[in-house]
Structure formats: C-alpha cells, structure tokens
Structure 1
Amino acid sequence: MTLSVPTGRAVDLRVQSVDEILERVERSLQTRFAPDTVVRKRRSVGARTDRDTWVRIERRLLDKISDQGWNGTERAARLTGIAQPAWQGCVVWPDAEEAAMWRADETDLLPGGPIGTAVLSEAPQVSDAWWRAFNASLDALSAQNTSRVATPDTEAITQDLVTAAIRGTFPGSFDTTVEEWVPTHGDLNWANMTAPTFCLFDWEDWGNAPRGLDSASLWASSLAVPALADRVRRERHADFESRDGKLMTLFACSKILGPDAHPQDPRLEAARQMAEQTIQDLQAD
C-alpha cells in the first residue's frame, strides 16, 4: 500500500495522507506509533514507537538513489566518536505507482529535542559543553574513511557541482578546485541537532565532501542571527580558514544568493558581504 498520488506529481508528506505508510511500517517492524508524536516533513515522516524508539520514514525517487545505496543511517552506525542515536534496523520497499523507494529506519530516541528549524531566527540556548561535544563529533567524523559521497539536497556533491554552483552565482578569477575531501554529515543544520545534550541525527546524506561543507552549511543556517553565525565561525575556525572552507562558504552563499534567492530572506545581505570578502581572499591566495 502506498500513497495515492498521480504519477509524476511531487509528493509532499506534510499535506498528503500517510496513514497507510505508517500502518505498513508498524506491521513490518512489529511496533505501534504514538499518534501525537508524528512529525511530518516534505519527504519524510517520523514518530515514536511503543518500545521507546524513533522511526524515520523517507520517500526518495530512484534517480536520487546513487550506486552507493540508500543506507546512510545504517552505514553511519559504524562511525566512532560521534554523538548520534544508535541504529536498530530498517525496512525498505518500492513504491507501487512511481519510480521511487520508501525506507524506514529505527533508532534510539534522541537525548533531547531538535534545537529548531533548519534556518534559525533566534539564538538557541546551548552551553559551552554543547559546543565542545559538537566540535568533538565533527572532528571525529572528518578523521574517518568512507567510500560514500555526500548528497546534500539529495544530489551527489562533485567537483563539477561545486564549480557550477559557485560560477553560476559569483564572478571572479579564482580557482574552484577542491583540495581535500573528508567525511561530512551533508545536511548539518539546527533541525538535525539536539539540546541540551548534543546529538547529531538524520544521516541519510552523509559521505565525502569538500572540507568545510558542514561548517559552512551551519553558518549559512545561522545568518539571521549574526552572533550565532559568528560563533559558528569561531568554533570551526580551522575549516573556515582553509581554502576548501572558503570555497564551501561560497557554495553555501550560492544557495542564498543564487537564481532561486528569496527577496525577503533575512540572510541576503550578510551572505553577500561574506561572499565578497571570501572572493577577495581566494583571489589573494
């Protein structure tokens, strides 16, 4: 049983019925969901089970599932030194009507609530201990090895993608060649971290990416709160000072300032100023 939607039509799980999907996962995992805990996003749904675990269900088109597979949360369970919920198991099945797949991953419950939305409008209340745990996890992640490729926004990040995003938004005679590729979360924002205890979750898109992608992504999601954006830059100073970190800063800015820029985005001016300074730094290198 699947959602009943016309072939080729975009599925938005925030507004379409997910009852049949939830029932199917309950049967497969032999559990029950607490109805008042269901969280709905555009392409995923999550809920707490009666055995005090969490299940995240995602629908993804086949052309968005690369040769590396579609098992980011499962593969992330092998990572060490990172604060993340333990993975318990999964169920995967094909959509009966479209070229898409469904996947439900069960994990331990988070140690706290998500800090906020992907882009914040006010500073979160997190401690210095939280920042230390945050840095320890990101440093541990970047020191490990994987054959996976990060898929931010479900698109594999490549040199061509980086160059196209930067060149498509910013002029300037500077080299966009990435020098260092390291394991990254791939979707680091305030909606995927908890407080007061730090924990990083939603590992579907992790893999190798240019150094600084995670730091730049979190900085970009903090720009509406200048003091918070500055704190991110201070905490991840080594990333931002690296050449690849500067390229990732431009990459993140391109998503704010590019062709799809929203004229009311409160981050526009801060992103524009940072992009100008970063281009000057790259041209001076």
Structure 2
Amino acid sequence: MPSARGVVVTAPAGRAHGFPSSAVFVPPHGRDDQVRMRRAHAAAARTFKVTATGPHVWGRHGRTPGRRAGQWWLRPVCAPQDKRNVRLWEGTATAHRALPAAVPRPRLHDVLEWSAQGHTYRVELSECVPLPALQSGGPVLTSDLDLPPVWWADLRLALETTSSVVTDRQAVRQRWVDKNLTHCLGIPAFQVSAWITGHGDLHWASLTGPPLIILDWEGWGLVLAGFDVGLLHAPSLTRPSMAARIRHEFAHVPDTPSGRTGELVALAQLLRVAGRGGHPDLAPHLARRAEHLTGSPVPAP
C-alpha cells in the first residue's frame, strides 16, 4: 500500500488528450493476480485523491488494469521486484520529458511507485483521451479506415519530429538483428547503418483519430529508419487498400535502402511472434511480403 507520492511530473499546458490505452485485452488468468492489481489501482486512486469509474481496461498480457478517473487515466503496472524491465518501466515518463509537445500523445501528470510482498508497482496518472484506438483487441487491422489527408500529414510530422530526439534508449538492438534475421527471414544479418528515434511499437491499436493521438510510449527509443512505418504496414497487409495507402503516404520511406532494412526487421519481429502462435491470420501475409522484399522464401517457423 503506498503511503506517499513518488516522482511528480507536471504536464505542460496544451490541449488535453484522452482515452485509455490502445488495445483491450483480457485480465490475467490467475484470480489472485486480478485481485492484487485491482487493489493496487484502488490504493493509487486514494493516494492521488481521484475517483475511478467505469470498467477496468486490461492491457497486453493482463499487465495493466487502466481505468478512467475524471479527466485522468489511472493505470498501474506490476512486476516481481527482481524482474522489472527498466526500459519499459520508465518509458512513459522518459517520453514525457524527452518528446516535443508537437508529438500528439497523452500527457503524463503524476507517477507513484511502491513495493510490497515481492512485487514492485508503478502507477501512472495521465490525460484521458476521449477517443478509442483505431483498432481494438490487437494490432492486426480488421477493417478499412477512412482517414483524411490531414491525419496522415500529422502522423508523418509526428514520426519525423520524434526521429530527431536524442536518446540512448534502444527499442531495437543490433544483437537482435544478428540473432534473429536469418532464422526469421532466411537472409544474412546486416549491420544497421541508420538509427533514428521512434515509437517502437507503432500499430493501429496505438493510434487514434482524427485527430491523431499516439498512445503507448513505453517502448520508445532508437530504431532502424523505416521500422515504425514497417510495423504499421505489416498488420495492414490483411487489408490491401490500407497497406497500399501506407505505402503511398510514406513513399519516401520504404523506397530507400534504410527504409527497406527497417521494414525487414519489423517483419522479422512479427514473424517471430507468429512462429510462437501469435497473429495466425497475419502470418501468411508477413511471409509473402518478406519474400517480395528479399526474393527468398521465408523459413518455416
């Protein structure tokens, strides 16, 4: 149970953003885990002196039971004290401090941390975005989206602005490329020559609009040029017209050598997930796209 506030990060003035998180997933399987996380949420609400309403919205793997609290979105995350992923743990706060205000995202208002019974808890109080994500239930696109030109222009500007942010955080690592590229794509690993700063997990469940708001910045950091666009394009392959729209709107990215390598690494990451049983409907589309880019068949998972 927390007894005092942790790190306070005051949000800058500007337009309020709002609604929960990107995708809606299921609660954790264990009843004890559900109860523990709900209690953590209630304890943080008391400490922040906010009133949470509505249902809990569970994040990926049941890790984060977010809930609305007036103008805020209150979301706890928990990890065993000895297994905390520091990069993801601090991602939202570091993004809040590092990214320019021009990048449209929910602003972080306050952070609270405590440890109890072998677990460490971190609760973030952010602006509540009054818009649903463009895709719910996961990143794979299930319907065509009618997005105006200004939305695409805002997304290009946001990614371009983010790309120039100086950071030592890494969302993609050279050693991952060295270890996985041949296994996933059947091509030799290459040395990455162009690193930029990116979102690191860009897909339709982390975008709203119009207007555009980019959610879920936990994993931001250095990526390959073309990686974020590749991550958005790959789950769109189930909807050919949307995939074509992305290629049109970001024609300056995939047609370059660095953009192509970034897309290949994005495809490799998703094929690795597919090899473990994730996104089975997307897997054949990923394989065909990878074979189109490399001219080589993708190894069987």
In structure 2, the partner of 1:217 is 231
Tell me if structure 1 keeps the 8 A contact 2:88–2:219: no
CA contact (8 A) 1:165 1:251 kept: no
SS in 1 for 2:51: coil
Identity %: 24
Select 1:197's aligned residue among 193, 197, 211: 211
**Superposition pairs for residues 223-242 of structure 1, below 5 Å?**
223-242=237-256
Whole-angstrom CA distance in 2 between matches of 1:245 and 1:165: 19
Partner of 1:260: 275
* Alignment partners' CA distance in 2, 1:208 and 1:268: 26
| CA RMSD, 1 decimal | 2.5
CA gap 1:261/1:122 in 2 versus in 1, 3 angstroms: farther
Q: Which moved more, 1:122-131 or 1:139-148?
A: 122-131
Bigger mean CA deviation after superposition, 125-134 or 69-78: 69-78
Q: 2:191 aligns with which of 136, 153, 177?
A: 177
Corresponding residue SS for 2:275? coil
Partner residue in 2 for 1:65? 85
After TM superposition, the structure 1 = structure 2 runs for residues 32-181 of structure 1, keeping only pairs within 5 Å, are 32-34=51-53, 36-41=54-59, 42-50=62-70, 52-61=71-80, 62-66=82-86, 70-78=89-97, 79-80=99-100, 81-98=102-119, 101-117=120-136, 118-150=139-171, 157-172=172-187, 174=188, 176-181=190-195
TM-score (norm 2): 0.78
Residue deviations 1:227-270, cap 9 Å, x none?
Answer: 11221222222222233322232222224434725498232332
- The aligned amino acid for 2:57 is V
- SS of the residue 1:113 aligns to: coil
SS of residue paired to 1:38: strand
User: Structure 1 residue 211: deviation in Å?
Assistant: 1.4
**In structure 2, what residue type is equivalent to 1:227?**
S
Q: Residues 235 and 248 (structure 1 numbering): CA distance in 2 closer, same or farther, change over 3 Å? A: same
In 2, Cα distance between the equivalents of 1:265 and 1:183? 30
**Which consecutive residues of structure 1, in runs of 5 or more, have no partner in the other structure?**
3-11, 151-156
Which aligned pairs between 1:5-20 and structure 2 lie closer than 5 A? 13-15=27-29, 16-17=34-35, 18-20=37-39
Tell me, yes or no, if the aligned pair for 1:110 and 1:194 is still in contact at 8 Å: no
- Post-superposition offset of 1:43: 1.5
**Cross-structure match for 1:247:** 261
Over 3 Å counting, the alpha-carbon distance change for 1:191 and 1:69 in structure 2 is: closer
TM-score by length of 1: 0.82
- Relative distance call for 1:208 and 1:256 in structure 2 (3 A) is closer
In structure 2, what is the Cα distance between the partners aligned to 1:140 and 1:206? 13
Count residues in correspondence: 260
Shift of residue 37, structure 1, vs aligned partner: 4.1
Answering whether residue 290 of structure 2 is matched by residue 272 of structure 1, we say: no
Q: Is the 8 A contact 2:27 2:58 kept in 1?
A: yes
Residues 1:266 and 1:94: Cα distance change in structure 2 (over 3 Å): same
Q: In the alignment, what sits opposite 1:8?
A: none
